[in-house]
Amino acid sequence: MKAIVIGAGEVGFDVARILSMEQHDVIVIDLDPEALAQVQERLDVMTIQGNGTSASVLQDAGAATADMLIAVTAIDEVNLVACMLADRLGVQTTVARVRSGELSQTQTVLKTSDFGIDLVIHPEESAAAEVVQLIRRASATDVLTFCDGRLHLVGMRLDPDAPVLGMTLQDLARAHPDLTFRVMAIARGIRTILPGGNERFQKNDQVFVLTWPKFIPHVARIMGKSDTRIQHVMVLGGTQVGAKIALQLSQSKGKRLKLIEPDRNVARRLAEDLADVLVIHGDATDIDLLVREGLGEMDAFVAVTDDEESNLVTCLMAKHLGVKKTVAMLSKGAYIPISQSIGLDAAVSKKLAVSRQILRFLRGKHVLSVATVHGLDAEVLELEVSPRSPATRKPVKDLSLPRGVLIGAVLHRDKAEVATGKTEIAPGDRVIVFVLPQSIRDVEAYFGR
């Protein structure tokens, strides 16, 4: 596949990296020669210095024969115009990163189709939604939803005194026959394990469990986690992400929110827009201010400023003061893997939100969604099963699956089932599978044959 990426910033770099890893032909366009030099030095892609809204630049990049154009600059208007031009020049699929929520509103004057855009990505909305899920699931390091929200994948790190340490997965299932769940993956150090029944839990394992939402508190207790209710939350940063988090959490019954914003004008506007949130004007790096405003009494602390180092430091301070749940917004690749090992409970990334949706487009049409998880070297695919797939011929326990593949759940029409060895898959069913990178093409062919 031939892909054109408009924008060589952090998000554009990450998109180009993913496309390049997938062995696609990639051309990156940007006005900044230094940003392009970084891309060319570190990735096996072509670069063109120029304006992504210029028809001549797009033609030079080969838009007429391109399969996909992804516009992810920091300016919405540039992304929209670039996609509109690309559509006119014959690009098959166009993707735009848009910060404004205008296009996603149901009564908006202009729709994405008016610009020839196939997919609009809202990374800020995706990141905010992920934080809200993490706050609602206090014991979780990661929360992902599948099958239209019917099933949740929850990540939990095992403490040194976790009651499941030393148990095998079979032992755990036998001890709790009334609970329906499946351990889909274990992140152990730098290894990703798709476990069999004889795998034993070890200290500091990060365990990913697929189950129904109603069972999550029970599974958390089994893993030694108390799913404590979170009522008092402090949000650091009145960014788009911070404002969306505060708005969504303030609408939950019993939640009390404080938001710290250093810009006086932004703080004033947020105070007017967020009637149920106490907005405080103050320096995000002023630890004394945070302590005076009751940081130590909070149930959760969320740092989503544009300064990643401040997000890390303030979350660590909050943890030191006894805050139960800390979440930081990070984007640098070096920070995310170490965030939990140095004391943070969870990290979210706007770049990862973009990557997940781009990966969905890279997969076959039978792939309904793609998810990636911090620290887990595997993808979670939601696939529609083709009538010709070998998966429809035998129960799960008798299937000859490609290596590095684990089936987690099956959605039969409107009924979701956590997969067991006896589960049978029919054409048209949706399956949730964990896949190691080397097996992605094999599993797509297996279910989509």
| CB 389, CB 447: distance < 8 Å | yes
Which pTM does this prediction carry? 0.72
**Structure confidence at residue 191 as a pLDDT band (50, 70, 90):** confident
Report percent pLDDT > 70 for the chain. 89
In CATH, the number for domain 378-448 is: 3.30.70.1450
Q: Where are the domains of the chain?
A: 2-121, 139-222, 232-346, 378-448
Domains 139-222 and 378-448 share a fold: yes
Q: Which of 328, 333, 358 is nearest to 346 (CA)?
A: 328
In CATH, the number for domain 139-222 is: 3.30.70.1450
Q: What digits encode the pLDDT tens for the residues 79-124?
A: 999 999 999 999 988 989 887 665 555 445 456 666 678 888 888 8
Q: What digits encode the pLDDT tens for the residues 394-433?
A: 899 899 988 889 999 998 877 888 888 889 999 999 898 8
Return the pLDDT at 196. Answer: 87
Query: Six-digit token pair at 348?
Result: 């979210």
**pLDDT, greater one: 287 or 353:** 287
Q: What digits encode the pLDDT tens for the residues 195-231?
A: 988 999 999 898 999 998 888 889 989 998 876 778 9
- Given the candidates 3.40.50.720, 1.20.1260.10, 3.30.300.30, 3.30.750.24, the CATH classification of the domain at 232-346 is 3.40.50.720
**Structure confidence at residue 326 as a pLDDT band (50, 70, 90):** very high
CATH 3.40.50.720 holds for 2-121:
yes
**Residue 23: pLDDT over 90:** no
Average pLDDT, integer, range 174-195: 88
Average pLDDT, integer, range 237-250: 93
Q: What does the mean pLDDT of the chain come to?
A: 86
Average pLDDT, integer, range 138-160: 82
